[in-house]
Structure 1
Amino acid sequence: MPWVISTLTQTKFAAFLFDMDGTLLNSIAVVNRVWGQWALKHGLDPVAVGHTLHGRRAIDTVRDWQTPGMDVDLEAEAILQAELDDVVGLIEIPGAQAFLAALPPDRWALVTSAPRALALRRVRAAGLPLPAVIVTGDDVANGKPAPDCFLQAAKLLGVAASDCLVWEDAPAGIAAAEAAGASVMVIGTTHATPMQTPHPVVGGYTQLSVAVDEDGSLLLQAVNQG
């Protein structure tokens, strides 16, 4: 079933704040391999673990699933290294590269729960540009669904979070954006079934175009699909 734009009209924003996994790039293959192996190693259900990790910091997920005697920090470090070593199958979300290239460098940020080293590794592996402002799971005391990361990114860009559009794919990230007071666009490309959300949903960036207003604001609109 194709994804369609819902309840979207031309809208003006001070800046765009992008999540990474599932939003700018598809890392499902890597995530399933790394976390599946980790879950089996500890006698956990890979499917159950997989349902809880998207959009969140690895250490928070490990903490939720820790078994007796587990060293949470050590396990999170091991997962990070495995993810750094495995970039096979990483691809951009349709149209992401061209969409990002059309944005002024000072009007967008990468805001991810991943550690900085992993964020840089994956973005480069997917062939995507890197913005000047990057906020990662290393940079905040409270990860998504707390709003800290989006509030910090907006501050670094010199704008109010309430004037930003957050691009997300996971419930934790959407909740963080809502808590920050930002508008939300949901990327549904990697979802097996449609997400129940009041926010607009698109299947990728080819359905959208962006222009820069005279005051530097970003004007977002749907592309006529004919």
Structure 2
Amino acid sequence: MSAKESAVFDRQYRAFLFDMDGTLLNSIAAAERVWAAWAQRHGLDVEAFLTTIHGVRAIDTITRQALPGVDAQAEARGITEAEIEDVAGVVAIPGAVTFLQSLPAHCWAVVTSAPKALALRRMQAAGLVPPAVMVTAEDVTNGKPDPAGYLLGAKRLGVPIGECLVFEDASVGIRAGEAAGADVVVVTSTHWEPMATEHPTIASYDGVRVQCDAAGLLRLRPSTPA
């Protein structure tokens, strides 16, 4: 374990901030079905395009394509509606349900690039209870890798961002957490290939647990083998 990894597991935090897709739940198949159909309609290279969609807001993905005559706002609404309808195969990351249940309700938030309606639908499909604080696509002007979402999540929890631990899976989200000034843990459950990162990684939540002291401070710990 590197010094940076050890520091994350040794340090106490006041709150945990979680990305959603790829971090708390796996929605890859559903998202790629919807986006592949969209890409085909617009004559894009589907395989190459699908590598660009994860971790960012739909409006940002569409705007980045700079397609002539395309109303990005309308297209993003259409994508969201299609994704709300298609949650087949959306499941929680292993151990996520139990891990979240172990956290005090006022000590964690979700910070996602998904619109709120889609975030709630996917969390329901995955068997996850939404937290009291959620930052979604509608809440920020600039999506990840801009740090605005994580800064807002910490603010809504009433916690300095420097006392938060961010859980992420995608490079844009990791950069957002870094830019915000938080420590970051990378969840690799949905990664097909190893990610080169200086941050500590966890394959799932089965490998970690949380300790909460009398002052409400949280400490991430490796799970004790059975």
Range into which the TM-score falls when normalised by the shorter chain: over 0.9
> What TM-score, normalized to structure 2?
0.95
Runs of 4+ in 1 over 3 A off after TM superposition: none
CA displacement, residues 79-112 of structure 1 (integer Å, 9 cap, x when unaligned): 0111010000000000000000000000000110
Q: Which amino acid counterpart does residue 97 of structure 1 have in structure 2?
A: V
1:11 Cα offset (Å): 2.7
Matched, 1:34 2:25: no
Contact (CA 8 Å) 1:11, 1:221: kept in 2 or not? no
Q: Distance in 2 between matches of 1:55 and 1:106?
A: 25
Query: 1:165, 1:7 → 2: CA distance?
Result: 12
Residue 60 of structure 1: how far off its partner (Å): 0.1
Q: Which 5+ residue runs of structure 1 have no aligned equivalent?
A: 1-5
Map 1:79-94 onto structure 2 (within 5 A): 79-94=79-94
Aligned residues: 221
CA shift for structure 1 position 10: 3.2
Q: Is the contact made by 1:17 and 1:153 (CA closer than 8 Å) also made in structure 2?
A: yes
Partner Cα separation in structure 2 for residue 17 and residue 200 of structure 1? 15
Between 1:78-87 and 1:68-77, the stretch displaced more is 68-77
**Secondary structure of the equivalent of 1:162?**
helix
User: Which residue in the other structure is 1:62 paired with?
Assistant: 62
Per mean C-alpha deviation after superposition, the further-off stretch among 97-106 and 58-67 is 58-67
The answer (yes or no) to whether the contact 1:10–1:222 under 8 Å persists in 2 is no
Counterpart in 1 of 2:109?
109
Alignment-derived partner of residue 161 in structure 2: 161
Question: Following TM superposition, by how much is the alpha carbon of 1:29 offset from its aligned partner in structure 2, in angstroms?
Answer: 0.6
When the two structures are superposed, what TM-score results if normalisation uses the length of structure 1? 0.95
User: Once superposed, what is the RMSD of the aligned Cα atoms?
Assistant: 1.2
Give the counterpart letter for 1:7 in structure 2: E
Q: In structure 1, give the amino acid aligned to 2:28.
A: I
Once residues 104 and 47 of structure 2 are traced to their aligned partners in structure 1, the CA distance between those partners, rounded to angstroms, is: 40
Give, in angstroms, the shift of residue 224 of structure 1.
Answer: 3.0
Question: Which one-letter code corresponds to 1:216 in the other structure?
Answer: G
State the distance in 1 between where 2:110 and 2:67 align: 33
- Quote the Cα distance in structure 2 between the aligned partners of 1:192 and 1:177: 22
1:194 aligns to what?
194
The alpha-carbon deviation at position 12 of structure 1 amounts to 1.1
Counterpart CA distance in 2 for 1:92 and 1:10 is 27
Question: How many angstroms does 1:219 deviate by?
Answer: 1.2
State the distance in 1 between where 2:66 and 2:47 align.
16
The equivalent of 1:3 in structure 2 is none
Residue identity (%): 52
Note the 1:196-215 alignment, pairs <5 A.
Answer: 196-215=196-215
In the alignment, does 2:98 pair up with 1:98? yes
Contact 1:66 1:72 in 2 (8 A): no
Question: Once the two structures are superposed, what CA deviation does each residue of 1:44-73 show, in whole Å capped at 9, x if it has no partner?
Answer: 011221111111000000001132111111
For 1:126, the equivalent position in structure 2 comes to: 126
Matched, 1:220 2:220: yes
Distance (whole Å) between structure 1 residues aligned to residue 31 and residue 47 of structure 2: 12
Q: Which residue of 1 aligns with 2:174?
A: 174
Indicate the residue corresponding to 2:14 in structure 1: 14
